[in-house]
Structure 1
Amino acid sequence: MVGIYIGSTAGYSGKNLVAVALGLRLQKDGLKVGYMKPVGAVPHREGDKVGDEDAFFMLDVLGLDADPALVTPVLVTRDFKVKAFTEGVGDLMGEIKSAYEKLSEGMDVMIVAGSGAYMDSGAYCGVEGVRVARELGLKTLLIDRFFGELRYDSLLRSRKRLGDDLAGVVFNDVPEGYRAEVDELIVPFLERQGLDVFGVIPSDPVMGAIKVSDLAARLSGKVVSAHGRADRVVENFLIGTMQVENFMTHFRRHKNSAIIVGGDRADVQLVALEGACPCLILTGNLYPNDIIMTRSEVLETPIIMVRDDTYTVAKKMEAILSSHKLRDTIKVTHGTQLVGSSLDFPRLRAKLGI
């Protein structure tokens, strides 16, 4: 039985994306695949079962019937942190090892998901990623997502720290304009340092998209029109603070972008609606006028009303679109295909001994 620990160099790097794609691919190849997330940071309840939100999602996608409490033996809640910082939480690694042994029975491969942003996350209670992977005897696959640059220094430090226990790295969300530098400079350099690069996943607007209804919730706003189309998808955003003529020029280049505009800018709102934007986000807690409301309903374009100012909403949007979870069926299907066409699965399987 082979165990794979999927870690990352930063938060929201795409651990679930790669775990889903890898798990489904190995299942398709006829292998029995198990899943575990030893440390969970987002408690979630389904019926009488409590576990980690990501773990519930992964169990569902992979079609696994496992006890969520066993899949995530360490669940970080407010009470857990208070106890960890005061009296201590005992032998958590013992609990993790016991759960891993039970979950891995009869499996060919175990996919173990890391928690937190880095391999050191969880050090305060003795369950950091490096220790979990080492004590469970797992090979580590790191996901490094492009956030302005790739973290090659961090990867090299991980190479020295993990040694042969580091299987390699997968680069995620790499823009087309940066791809040549990755392929021609960074990947060859890392390979010469003994760090295998198993794939480069390109940026894709679908993977960063979010439903209007989810966006409203994340912005602490409310949908005030065209409620029946709150399932429309937003891939990007554009700020409508400029004059109408200038806005129209920018708008034509950014189709499928939500328009963030002051609630008092009916001129820009109308242009955005007639231009078939996926949704309007009105700032300043100002309700749209009757003309805008009517056109919104006729064109079936939802309007989200929020309290924050335009600048604050724009900053929130940047964070939301870069950290939105892999949840929708469309994203799972598309993401699996994206990873499948980007990863060198035969080479990865050979390295892992699968």
Structure 2
Amino acid sequence: YVTTKEKGSGNTSTCASIGKLVLNAGKKPGYIKPVLSAGNDGDAVFVKDVLSLDEPVEVLSPVISGSNIAARIKEAVTMVSQGKDAVIIDGPPEYYQSSSEIAKKLNAKLLIVEPYTEDIPQTITGYKGFGQSLIGVIFNKVPERRMDKVTGEDAEHLTKAGIQYLGAIQEDRALSALTVGELAACIAGKFICGEEKSEDLIENLMIGALTVDSGPEYFGRKENKAAIIRSERPDMQLAAISTSTKCLVLTGETPLKPAVKIKAEEKEIPVITTSEGSAEIMERVEAVLANPGPNQVSKLARFEKLMKQNIDLDILSKELGL
């Protein structure tokens, strides 16, 4: 049972990574994420695909609310556990305070994914309340400047309190990035070319219209970016294409110049058109980033790599019987 107190803490990425760990050991994983309201849960859809699960999404994300939560989750877990070697339960933040009760009811091991906090020692008392079912704690989204403190002083505090420190994952820009396809969707954009690159990750946004000198030197300041440029400025468009650009977003009504399209296709850079202005695009992107959707395969691959580098997977494997 993987639990967290905050949305966006990396709980589902952790569950998917553990599921992949089970798969790579030649075993069959199961997954379930209880939800509070009806409707296909994006996380469950994603994990179903990643782990090639047979159950319908409705079974993997059952609606469980009200009383007797632990007993109802147990019933739901029973449905997905047949023929599985290990079942990973993606506990929603709303059930965090009930995690110990749920884990006991399921006879499950408990793993906490803790988003970074400045005062980790203050959380230790809360961890003790989870009892013997607690495997340990993973800290996620730790700022680079705090990694030494978390892996040193804070880890020592946990160990002295009898709580297993499993590791810490540094804050990673790529994990909070949009894909090209997500960007196109959130700005109601249309692909002129390069739609096959929809899963590529965008780490930066640049607006060409904000400076007079929007040449290669300007666009070269940021890598893996989406360049947002007026459609009547092919000079800026070509300048952006000549640098590390993940996609070109054109605003306005002017048709794309053939020379720009040819160059974009040569460099496999998607070109997206939209009726939105630059300011509206930034507002929409900020809104999407504030409420991130399900993780993409490319993000999961990055998260798995960080897990292998920073988390004690031997302990997790042992607890899962791998």
Q: Normalization by structure 2: what TM-score?
A: 0.78
- SS of 1:97 mapped into structure 2: helix
Task: Name the % identity.
Answer: 26
Q: Which amino acid aligns with 1:188?
A: E
- SS of 2:210 mapped into structure 1: coil
Aligned with 1:110 (options 60, 82, 87): 87
Aligned with 1:28 (options 18, 24, 37): 24
Contact preservation (8 Å) 1:281, 1:305 = yes
Contact preservation (8 Å) 2:192, 2:273 = no
Gap change, CA 1:117 and 1:226, over 3 Å in 2: farther
Q: Which runs of 5+ in 2 are unaligned?
A: none
The structural deviation recorded for 1:112 is 0.7
Verify: 1:100 aligned to 2:84, yes or no.
no
Cα offsets for 1:9-40 (capped at 9, x unmatched): 32122222211221222343355533222326
Verify: 1:287 aligned to 2:253, yes or no.
yes
Q: Which runs of 5+ in 1 are unaligned?
A: 45-51, 76-83, 121-127
Q: Equivalences for 1:132-281 in 2 at 5 Å?
A: 132-146=102-116, 152=120, 155-156=123-124, 158-204=126-172, 206-217=174-185, 219-231=186-198, 233-240=200-207, 241-245=209-213, 249=217, 251-261=219-229, 268-281=236-249
Q: In terms of mean alpha carbon deviation, does 313-322 or 197-206 score higher?
A: 313-322
- SS of 1:96 mapped into structure 2: helix
Contact preservation (8 Å) 2:86, 2:320 = no
Contact preservation (8 Å) 1:237, 1:260 = no
Q: Which amino acid aligns with 1:139?
A: K
Aligned to 2:8: 12
Aligned with 2:62 (options 70, 73, 82): 73
The structural deviation recorded for 1:335 is 3.3
Aligned to 1:327: 296
Q: Which amino acid aligns with 2:113?
A: I
Alpha-carbon distance in 2 for matches of 1:245, 1:132: 59
Q: In terms of mean alpha carbon deviation, does 318-327 or 105-114 score higher?
A: 318-327
Gap change, CA 1:152 and 1:334, over 3 Å in 2: same
- SS of 1:325 mapped into structure 2: coil
The structural deviation recorded for 1:136 is 2.5
Contact preservation (8 Å) 2:201, 2:246 = yes
- SS of 1:133 mapped into structure 2: helix
Q: Which amino acid aligns with 2:120?
A: Y
Cα offsets for 1:235-291 (capped at 9, x unmatched): 3123325324377555323111112345676664443233352213345xx234544
Alpha-carbon distance in 2 for matches of 1:67, 1:224: 32
Cα offsets for 1:54-110 (capped at 9, x unmatched): 3343234334433544433316xxxxxxxx8xxxx6755543222323433554432
Gap change, CA 1:7 and 1:262, over 3 Å in 2: farther
Verify: 1:61 aligned to 2:26, yes or no.
no
| Count of residues in Structure 1 that have an aligned counterpart in Structure 2 | 317
Q: Which amino acid aligns with 2:108?
A: L
Alpha-carbon distance in 2 for matches of 1:239, 1:93: 48
- SS of 1:253 mapped into structure 2: coil
Q: Which amino acid aligns with 2:92?
A: S
Gap change, CA 1:57 and 1:167, over 3 Å in 2: same
Aligned with 2:281 (options 308, 313, 331): 313
- SS of 2:263 mapped into structure 1: helix
Alpha-carbon distance in 2 for matches of 1:213, 1:42: 26
RMSD: 3.7
Alpha-carbon distance in 1 for matches of 2:92, 2:232: 43
Alpha-carbon distance in 2 for matches of 1:346, 1:12: 25
Contact preservation (8 Å) 1:266, 1:288 = no
Aligned to 1:81: none
Q: Normalization by structure 1: what TM-score?
A: 0.72
Verify: 1:298 aligned to 2:299, yes or no.
no
Cα offsets for 1:117-153 (capped at 9, x unmatched): 7725xxxxxxx6555334323332122345xx56737
The structural deviation recorded for 1:113 is 0.7
Gap change, CA 1:344 and 1:224, over 3 Å in 2: closer
Alpha-carbon distance in 2 for matches of 1:229, 1:63: 22
Contact preservation (8 Å) 1:209, 1:233 = no
